[in-house]
Amino acid sequence: MSTEITIYPLRATKKELCDLLKSMNFKKCKHLWDWPKNAVNFFGFVSEDYKSFDGVEATVYRASQKEKEIYNGVEWAVHTRVRASGSEFDQRLQNEVIKEIRKKFGGNFYNDWLGKNRYRIVEGDKRKPVGRGVAIVFEYVVEQFGKLAFIIPDELKITGKSKIEKFFSQIDPYKILYNALVPFVVAGFEYFFKEIFIILFKYSKVSKKKLEKKTGNVPFSDILKISKKEMSIPELIAKEYSFQNITEINNAYKNWLDIDVLRAVNYSKNIGKKRKSINDRITDLIMGRHKIIHNFFCDYNLNKKRFLQLLNFILKIFNSFLDFLEKEKKIFVRDNYLKIYRKYSFNKKSYL
């Protein structure tokens, strides 16, 4: 879903409209479809402070004959689009583009939801930059897991209990696939905690104070990357830790942000009671990944049900960590849309 607004300026050349979009920091881009012919596609996206989630698409094109008849013979039009998941900034930017074009060149516009000359209704977002950044990471990882859960095949239907049937159940080729996907899950776990560490570091007063007291040598190659803005200081600090190790993750967060990750992942009560602690289960997951990668190990007891349980376990860890950030650190992360993941289960056959 999206909101599309097309404006039909009374007096404007193709170049004037393109120049106006460029002045608003829109960049030329390619479109999936070459539509309409000779159209020029632009994209507006502001990554600073995580203002944009999806950005604003804008296309300058020659108006169709029907559009010319409806809108007083206009020659050129600008079509804009923002996806439903666009940020408040994206929504405001879409309105701003229409306002600027109309102010300079006149004309009318059409909103595919609200009708003629109606600007889109902007949905407010109370999140600060740090909360938006964390939300982007959380949503991205969970969506990747959701795609995986949706498409992963069932194992072979072997229901008997004879020795031969148990044997064939053990050598089910689909179980090789489930094992091969474990490193992907661990990569998502690692990405989640690493990227959020970098975001929290960027906006934390605690980390800035600790950074002032840090001593040590920095490789010139890293200094050069920082000078070229190819690497940030939080990313440089993150390089000192392995985020494939729960103890290392905890050390990074404790040393620089005064956050106890081991406490945070156990913060919520909805993870469930198991004989093993949450920390031991995380360690088992990461060690399982290492055995697959380095020893070509295959766990033939890993079926689809257990794999989806693994995804659900990771999601509960993420939610527990976000509960901690929201309640203890007062960092608002989950809007009404992201709150659905608090009780979400990957066992449902639905694509997020």
Buried b (16+ CB within 10 A) or exposed e, 67-90: beeebeebebbbbbbbeeebbbbb
pTM reported for the whole predicted model: 0.90
- Helix (H), strand (E) counts: the chain: 13, 7
Q: Are residues 210 and 166 in the same domain?
A: yes
Q: Are residues 288 and 336 in the same domain?
A: yes
Tally the domains of the chain.
2
Q: In which domain, by residue range, is 195 found?
A: 129-342
Buried b (16+ CB within 10 A) or exposed e, 20-56: bbeeeebeeeeeeeeeeeebbbbbbbeeeebbbbbbb
User: Which pair of tokens denotes residue 71?
Assistant: 């809108």
pLDDT of residue 77: 97
pLDDT of residue 216: 83
Within a domain: residue 351? Answer: no
Task: Render each residue's pLDDT in the chain as its tens digit; 352 residues.
Answer: 899 999 999 989 999 999 999 999 999 998 877 778 889 999 999 999 999 999 999 999 999 999 999 998 899 999 999 999 999 999 999 999 999 999 999 999 999 999 999 999 999 999 999 999 999 999 999 999 999 999 999 987 766 677 666 666 667 888 899 999 999 999 999 999 999 999 999 999 999 999 998 888 888 898 899 999 999 999 999 999 999 889 999 999 999 999 999 999 998 876 655 557 888 899 999 999 999 999 999 998 899 999 999 999 999 999 999 999 999 999 999 998 899 998 899 987 655 5
pLDDT of residue 31: 84
Q: Are residues 7 and 141 in the same domain?
A: no
Q: Are residues 111 and 136 in the same domain?
A: no
- Give the phi and the psi of residue 17 in degrees, each rounded to 5: -70, -40
182 contacts: CB under 8 Å, gap ≥ 6: 285, 288, 289, 292, 302, 310
pLDDT of residue 155: 84
Within a domain: residue 269? Answer: yes
Concatenate the DSSP letters of all residues of 223-283 into one string: HHHHHTTSS-HHHHHHTTS-TTSHHHHHHHHHHHH---HHHHTT--STT---SS-HHHHHH
